[in-house]
């Protein structure tokens, strides 16, 4: 996975690119994933399902895209749509992810009005906190990659071959790249 260079300030376009790279990596895995594997339960006590992780990722992007497109709307990650078809239909999940990638590009072609208000629920108490589109794109990239790591493990349990950089955060990939460069120079 090619990562954006962190040595310069790419603005929102770099954040969007990082999210789109992760989404495309997930879409590529879904393209090769058998449909039954998308719905398969893994684990005895707390079943894990690839489709549920995909739906969860989609819900979070949808929340940001929706809140940021309506002036005065609150970003609320807790009250998500949770569309069952996105958990059970691999193609529906894949298609929605591709649509989200396109929306990310279309909605913020250039710098955006970044201020957002987010509804946060902490121990049952709700509060409104200030955030920004940029901050939420950083969160969503990490959140997506975290769930991709789980998806990757589940796919491997089902016998699929998963790329070694699937579900690995860009900062870790940059670190490993620097480590490899250091070893090559010292050899």
Per-residue pLDDT of the chain (187 residues; tens, 9 = 90+): 444 444 444 678 889 999 999 999 999 999 999 999 999 999 888 889 999 999 999 999 999 999 998 888 999 999 888 999 999 999 999 999 999 999 999 887 655 667 899 999 988 899 999 999 999 999 999 999 999 999 999 999 999 999 999 999 888 888 888 888 877 777 7
pTM above 0.85, yes or no: yes
Compute CA distances 32 → 68, 92, 161, 184, whole Å: 33, 14, 10, 34
Compute CA distances 74 → 66, 68, 103, whole Å: 9, 8, 19
In a domain, 2, yes or no: no
Closest CA to 163 of 148, 142, 144: 148
Q: Could you give the number of structural domains in the chain?
A: 1
Q: Residues 6 or more apart from 43 whose CB is under 8 A from it?
A: none
In a domain, 3, yes or no: no
In a domain, 142, yes or no: yes
Give the domain extent around 126: 12-186
In a domain, 151, yes or no: yes
In a domain, 118, yes or no: yes
Tell me: the pLDDT tens digits for 98-152?
999 999 998 876 556 678 999 999 888 999 999 999 999 999 999 999 999 999 9
In a domain, 5, yes or no: no
Which CATH number covers residue 180?
1.20.120.450
């Amino acid at each position: 996975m090619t990562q954006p260079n962190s040595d310069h300030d790419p603005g929102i376009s770099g954040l969007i690119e990082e999210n789109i790279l992760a989404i495309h990596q997930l879409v590529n895995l879904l393209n090769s994933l058998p449909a039954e594997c998308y719905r398969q339960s893994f684990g005895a006590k707390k079943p894990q399902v690839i489709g549920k992780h995909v739906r969860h990722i989609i819900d979070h992007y949808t929340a940001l895209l929706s809140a940021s497109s309506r002036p005065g709307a609150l970003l609320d990650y807790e009250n998500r749509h949770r569309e069952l078809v996105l958990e059970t239909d691999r193609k529906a999940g894949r298609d929605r992810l591709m649509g989200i990638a396109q929306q990310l590009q279309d909605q913020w072609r250039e710098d955006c009005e970044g201020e957002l208000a987010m509804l946060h629920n902490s121990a049952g108490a709700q509060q409104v906190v200030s955030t920004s589109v940029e901050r939420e794109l950083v969160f969503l990239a990490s959140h997506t990659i975290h769930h991709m790591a789980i998806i990757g493990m589940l796919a491997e349990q089902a016998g699929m071959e998963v790329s070694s950089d699937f579900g690995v955060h860009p900062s870790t990939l940059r670190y490993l790249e620097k480590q490899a460069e250091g070893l090559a120079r010292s050899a």
